[in-house]
Amino acid sequence: MRILTAGESHGQGNVAVIEGFPKGIKIEAETINAELKRRMSGFGRGKRMTIEDDKVEILSGVRNKITLGSPIAIFIKNTDSRIFAEQKDELPELSIPRPSHADLSGAMKYGEKDVRNILERSSARETVARVSVGAICKQFLLNFGIRICSYVTDVGSISSDKKPFNYEDILNKTKNSRLNCIDKNKERLMIKEIENTEKEKDSIGGIVEVWIDGICPGLGSFMHFDTRLDAKLSFYLMGIPAVKGVEVGLGFEYAKKRGSQSHDSIYYTKNKEDRSNPTGFYRKTNNSGGIEGGISTGEPIILRAAMKPIATLRKPLDSVNLKGMTKEKAIVERSDTCAIVACGVIAESMSAIAITESFLDKFGCDSFKDIQLNYKSYIKKLSKNF
């Protein structure tokens, strides 16, 4: 499966093309729209979220809500559309890059003095396309009992060490949360932290945790470094704008513990009703985050992504005007104080894309019926062999 996105922050919209998606999968546009709405949610978002009303338009690859096996093309229109392909716009030229944004590095790479031509594509607005693709992948994965969710663990200096019991526990505890957090007490402190940050015209980041439930053993491979499932997931999460760190399972905490304190002991039961791990093997702990040797174990896959503060500040930092090389304050574009909830939604989507690709690598990618047969045969073989 291959994915290509196109679009600018203030262009006519964002496009995604998915090639190699199986035939015969039911796709609901309203399910995609619900994910796009989640992407716009969360305490700390900026004014653009009140302007846009993101809705997906499926242009090709689907007939009567069923995928055809041909490339799927989708389009999400920008309400705030101000640049055009074949007519001059009225947006002012921008020559003062923002620290920590792609403005300066992009300007140097492409020999550009107007950073507007850099920021329009490097903007996180492009993630509407990725969330739409992720929502399509989620609908595919659900046919095999694979579900993905996320929750916020940290905002700035406020951190929660509360851990969920399972996927359902996360959904129940985040249902009415303004920050998609399972810890109500810490959430109140997080909201206060965002409010104080906004008053100071600053921005703030955080950490999200992603849970992938219902994965069968055997996705990914140790044969080559680029086929390891943890490497693939980490790569896709690092591709999210503003994400600067990724952990799998225990992550960096592994470095602080001995092997006897951190490795997951293996147990066996003859009760094999759990179809995600029909072998009967299980762990009482999941420090590995559901991946060992680059391969899924059948336990929930647990990932964390650290998001830096948004680069655009209403009280801007020092920068340099590219036209006269004079010291000036960075440009101020419309932005968020905190977009950590949106980061979690995008992380879910990127995880769904990565898992779908690995799933199709193992079970085929032509038609849903063939994939189902291959999957059932594999699960049956696992159940008999152990």
348-378 tens-digit pLDDT: 999 999 999 999 999 999 999 999 999 999 9
Q: HSE on the CB side for 242, CA within 13 Å?
A: 27
CA distance 336 to 148: 25
Whether residue 275 is predicted with pLDDT greater than 70 in this model: the reply is no
User: pLDDT above 70 covers what percent of the chain?
Assistant: 98
* Whole-number pLDDT of residue 384: 87
pLDDT at position 270 is: 84
Confidence of residue 138 (pLDDT cuts 50, 70, 90): very high
Distance CA 250, CA 302 (A): 9
Q: What is the pLDDT of residues 64-101, one digit of tens each?
A: 999 999 999 999 999 989 988 888 988 889 999 999 99
The CATH classification of domain 2-385, taken from the options 3.60.150.10, 3.40.50.620, 3.30.70.260, 3.40.50.1100: 3.60.150.10
- How far apart are alpha carbons 373 and 292 in whole angstroms? 26
Cα 131 versus chain centre, distance:
7
Domain range list for the chain: 2-385
pTM of the model: 0.96
Interatomic CA distance for residues 148 and 4, integer angstroms:
22
Average pLDDT of 318-337? 93
Question: How would residue 311 be classed by pLDDT, with cut points 50, 70 and 90?
Answer: very high
Q: What is the pLDDT of residue 188?
A: 97
User: Can you give the pLDDT at residue 18?
Assistant: 98
Task: Say what the pLDDT of residue 287 is.
Answer: 98
Amino acid at 356: T
Whole-number pLDDT of residue 170: 98
Element (H, E) at 303: strand 301-307
Of 287, 214, 201, the closest CA to residue 251 belongs to 287
Tens-digit pLDDT profile for residues 175-204: 999 999 999 999 999 999 999 999 999 999
Question: Distance of alpha carbon 285 from its chain centroid, rounded?
Answer: 25
Q: Are 375 and 16 in contact (CB under 8 A)?
A: no
CB-neighbour burial class of residue 273 (10 A; exposed 0-12, middle 13-18, buried 19+) = exposed
Instruction: Write the single-letter amino acid at 72.
Output: I
Report the pLDDT value the prediction gives residue 156, as an integer from 0 to 100. Answer: 97
Q: Is 325 left (phi over 0), alpha (psi -120 to 50) or beta?
A: left
What are 219's two structure tokens?
Answer: 């996705």
Is residue 332's pLDDT more than 90?
no
- Predicted confidence (pLDDT) at residue 386 exceeds the cutoff of 80: no
